[in-house]
Amino acid sequence: MPHSDPRTLVSTAWLADHLADPDLRILDGSWHMPAAGRDARAEYNAGHIPGARFFDIYDISDNRSALPHMVPPVEKFMSRCRAMGVGDGHQIVVYDTAGLFSAARVWWLFRLMGHADVAVLDGGLPKWQAEGRALEDMPPVLRERHMTVRRQAHMVKDVTQVAAASKLRDAEIVDARSPARFRGDEPEPREGLRAGHVPGSRNLHYASLLNADGTMKDPEALRALFEAAGVDPAKPVITSCGSGVTAAILNLALERMGRRDHALYDGSWSEWGQFDELKVETG
């Protein structure tokens, strides 16, 4: 296990050692595919890491967009964080109930908003519970905290920028979906979307970056996986997936590898897959 880094990934042991820190804020960033039939907030209410607040990916998003859980307006992000008692000077640790899944999206969102002191809990709630560590079902006492936001516009890409990268090949578009969805061999879980991928993009399934216990592989292994996927290390990376959640696992991996030149395509396939004028590759 690589050392804990409070700006990318921390271990369960690190979190247990820092639980009582006054400036630590733990967020349950669990989210499930609609078809999973799971209620992330209800699961949080039933039991969570002591002191954790629930970060609602559905709510803290841009409700003006027809696309699912897009990046929220700055003002909305600030007000929701303030109400959760999360703000300037806090070390944030995000976990999820899957191990390492949607927590990376919350990590990326804080980074996008200019908050660098944020890490994902390696192995998430499953690892925490497997080690017999405490849970609680009491909601934390919330006190508002001021949050300053400095949006890092270079960390997010829109459809026009991704189309340009696809055409010019001046950045690597890396798709975190399963190989079968990438090739177009199986239908998309969201109705009305075409099958396939952005022309010229590479496929690196997010699950391949994880160990059997849901922790992330070490930086050397991650580097080898990106290389095996044909990603040119000299080019900046734009990550993509179904709806912008698992793509963030690739961003976390890149950051873990010491890469800073990466962004996330927020609309991802839920946007690209619906417009006939955008080209699609299969196979």
> In sequence order, what are the residues at sequence separation of 6 or more whose Cβ sits closer than 8 angstroms to the Cβ of residue 173?
162, 165, 166, 198, 200, 201, 202, 237, 238, 239, 240, 265
Quote the DSSP letter at residue 156: E
* C-alpha distances out from residue 233 to 191, 203, 248, 258, Å: 35, 15, 18, 11
Do the beta carbons of residue 148 and residue 110 sit within 8 Å?
no
Quote the DSSP letter at residue 154: G
3-class DSSP state for residue 8?
Answer: coil
Measured CA to CA, the distance from residue 127 to residue 70 in angstroms comes to 29
Give the CA radius of gyration of the chain.
18
Catalytic residue among 40, 241, 253, 254: 241
Do the beta carbons of residue 210 and residue 233 sit within 8 Å?
no
Quote the DSSP letter at residue 218: P
3-class DSSP state for residue 207?
Answer: helix
Closest CA to 141 of 39, 50, 264: 50
CA 134 to chain centroid, in Å, comes to 25
241 in active site: yes
Q: In which residue are the tokens 């699609």 written?
A: 280
Residues with catalytic roles: 241
